[in-house]
């Protein structure tokens, strides 16, 4: 068995397997009940109530779940004796832990999880500045109050990195300048770290995700929501040849977790329809910071919506898109060149999926990741969550400037004597002043 994190302790199942082998009782052990049970404890050895335990079949890519009782115990039965299982334990306020290669056994596992200092710092929400009609900032009196943005204002999520790629998180309003079409604009609101967000987990569940890929995707999605803050709102959308809102926006992360566990791959891929649905859903989201975390191979096969329509829709929105694309080696060699079309003729059906995922990410101010097939996705989802919670949030009121058609370019510049230039700034490239019809 392998622990993915050093923060946990595990014993029980491995011992029972060793006893079976040493005593020659393999046949007897194979006939025991196919179940996995265990005890979840914290660093002091006290039981952890209400932890969500996902039991993922590493052979058949299915998942069952349980929740720990008042004594910290969980039990999952009706498992296959021929399979190995991955155990994923999540609970808000604690670091997620993953235990691999667990075999069903009558012996009880014992898993220790550690408290997450960052989560505990944000357990009690602090007041978040909001914007008055006059554009002045004020401190919200109610903990549940959140950022409000008038329809005339442009909201920017801004990431700043130094030359080594390290995120810079200690800048102030005075370090930033915002230019629209080359014209300097006044910053009306400036916030950092504590501004809640509305995020769509957009998960590809087409047949190409069968096997280990859907298992990795589920574990990674669980890692993302484990990093969420109490006021963040998360929605889960799954897409194959049809698009399904598995969970509408909620702050109850247990609902999102159970939705993730239920994902089953089948059918084709309607990527553009899924992005369109996500953009529409975010227009009714509870917080004005809008994010899509997209996991897909990016190859659209079944959408009714065309690429040009999605391009305009994303340009007219304030949504940040983070893309994660996974490919088997032959497809990776075919697509990773980054060219817009991976083969002629230049039709939508021949759009390079790597280019598509990278294009939407860079257009919106997000990032695109292309791990090798089999690489763990958890670190990427955790990295995205960390960046989102360390971004600067800026709004400005646009004036009449001369753009290219209806598209207005946005340039955010940063200067600070504390850091050697150049600093890399990532935000959306611009916006359409007239939404697509």
CATH code, domain with 298: 3.40.50.410
User: Which of 176, 208, 213 shows the shortest CA–CA distance to 192?
Assistant: 176
Do residue 396 and residue 375 come from a single domain? Answer: no
437 found inside a domain? no
Do residue 56 and residue 143 come from a single domain? Answer: no
Q: Are 191 and 173 in contact (CB under 8 A)?
A: no
Do residue 234 and residue 97 come from a single domain? Answer: no
Number of domains in the chain: 3
Query: Which positions ≥6 away from 73 have C-beta within 8 Å?
Result: 37, 38, 39, 40, 47, 108
Cis peptide before 345 (omega within 30 of 0): yes
pLDDT value, residue 403: 79
Do residue 239 and residue 325 come from a single domain? Answer: yes
Do residue 232 and residue 351 come from a single domain? Answer: yes
Rounded to the nearest 10°, the torsion over CA 423, 424, 425, 428 is 160
Regions of the chain where pLDDT drops below 50: 1-32, 118-146
Cα(361)–Cα(427) distance, rounded to whole angstroms?
10
pTM: 0.75
- The counts of H helices and E strands in the chain are 10, 24
45 lies in which domain range? 2-119
Burial 225-244 (b: 16+ CB within 10 A, else e): bbbbbbbbbbbbbbbbeebb
The backbone torsions φ and ψ at residue 293, rounded to the nearest 5 degrees and listed phi first, read -110, 110
Do residue 15 and residue 107 come from a single domain? Answer: yes
DSSP code of residue 152: T
Residue after which a domain boundary falls, among 104, 119, 134 = 119
Cα(252)–Cα(302) distance, rounded to whole angstroms?
32
pLDDT value, residue 436: 63
8 found inside a domain? yes
pLDDT value, residue 144: 40
Residue after which a domain boundary falls, among 71, 103, 119 = 119
User: Which of 180, 127, 171 shows the shortest CA–CA distance to 152?
Assistant: 180
In order, the DSSP letters of 30-90 are HTS---EEEEEE-TTS-B-TT-EEEEEETTT--EEEEE--TTSEEEE-S--TT--EEEEEE
pLDDT value, residue 5: 44
pLDDT value, residue 60: 66
71 found inside a domain? yes
Query: Which positions ≥6 away from 141 have C-beta within 8 Å?
Result: 127
Structure tokens belonging to residue 384: 């995205």
Query: Which positions ≥6 away from 24 have C-beta within 8 Å?
Result: none
Do residue 426 and residue 361 come from a single domain? Answer: no
Side-chain half-sphere exposure of 407, counting CA atoms within 13 A: 11
Query: Which positions ≥6 away from 184 have C-beta within 8 Å?
Result: 177, 178
Tell me the Ramachandran region of residue 324: left when phi exceeds 0, alpha when psi lies from -120 to 50, beta otherwise: beta
Do residue 288 and residue 372 come from a single domain? Answer: yes
Cα(421)–Cα(60) distance, rounded to whole angstroms?
51
Q: Are 52 and 89 in contact (CB under 8 A)?
A: yes
Do residue 354 and residue 421 come from a single domain? Answer: no
Residue after which a domain boundary falls, among 119, 151, 166 = 119
Do residue 10 and residue 83 come from a single domain? Answer: yes
Do residue 288 and residue 313 come from a single domain? Answer: yes
Do residue 97 and residue 210 come from a single domain? Answer: no
């Amino acid at each position: 068995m392998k622990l993915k994190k050093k923060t946990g302790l595990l014993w029980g199942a491995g011992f029972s397997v060793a006893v079976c082998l040493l005593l020659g009782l393999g046949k007897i052990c194979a006939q025991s009940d196919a179940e996995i049970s265990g005890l979840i404890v914290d660093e002091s050895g006290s039981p952890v109530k209400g932890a969500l335990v996902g039991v993922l079949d590493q052979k058949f890519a299915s998942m069952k779940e349980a929740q720990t009782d008042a004594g910290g115990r969980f039990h999952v039965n009706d498992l296959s004796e021929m399979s190995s299982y991955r155990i994923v334990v999540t609970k808000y306020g604690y670091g997620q832990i993953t235990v691999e290669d667990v075999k069903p056994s009558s012996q009880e596992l014992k898993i220790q999880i550690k408290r997450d200092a960052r989560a505990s710092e944000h357990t009690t929400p602090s007041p978040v500045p909001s914007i008055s009609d006059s554009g002045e900032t004020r401190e919200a009196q109610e903990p549940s109050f959140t950022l409000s943005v008038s329809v005339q204002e442009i909201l920017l999520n801004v990431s700043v990195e130094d030359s080594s790629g390290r995120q810079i998180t200690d800048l102030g309003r005075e370090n930033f300048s915002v230019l629209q079409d080359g014209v300097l604009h006044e910053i009306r609101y400036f916030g950092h770290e504590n501004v809640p967000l509305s995020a769509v987990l957009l998960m590809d569940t087409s047949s190409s995700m069968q096997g280990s890929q859907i298992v990795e995707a589920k574990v990674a999605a669980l890692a993302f929501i484990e990093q969420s803050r109490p006021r963040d709102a998360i929605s889960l959308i799954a897409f194959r040849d049809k698009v399904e809102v598995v969970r509408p926006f909620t702050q109850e992360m247990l609902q999102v977790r159970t939705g993730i566990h239920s994902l089953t791959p089948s059918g084709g891929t309607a990527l553009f329809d899924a992005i369109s649905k996500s953009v529409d859903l975010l227009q009714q989201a509870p917080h004005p910071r809008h994010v899509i975390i997209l996991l897909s191979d990016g190859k659209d096969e079944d959408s009714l919506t065309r690429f040009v329509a999605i391009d305009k829709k994303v340009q007219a929105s304030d949504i940040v898109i983070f893309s994660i694309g996974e490919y088997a080696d032959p497809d990776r060699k075919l697509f990773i060149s980054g060219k817009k079309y991976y083969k002629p003729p230049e039709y939508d059906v021949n759009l390079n999926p790597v280019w598509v995922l990278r294009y939407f990410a860079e257009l919106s101010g997000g990032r695109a990741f292309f791990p090798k097939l089999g690489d763990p996705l958890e670190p990427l989802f955790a990295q995205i969550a960390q960046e989102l919670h360390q971004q600067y949030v800026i709004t400005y009121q646009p004036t009449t400037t001369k753009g290219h058609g209806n598209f207005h370019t946005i340039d955010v510049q940063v200067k600070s004597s504390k850091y050697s230039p150049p600093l890399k700034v990532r935000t959306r490239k611009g916006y359409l002043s007239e939404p697509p019809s």
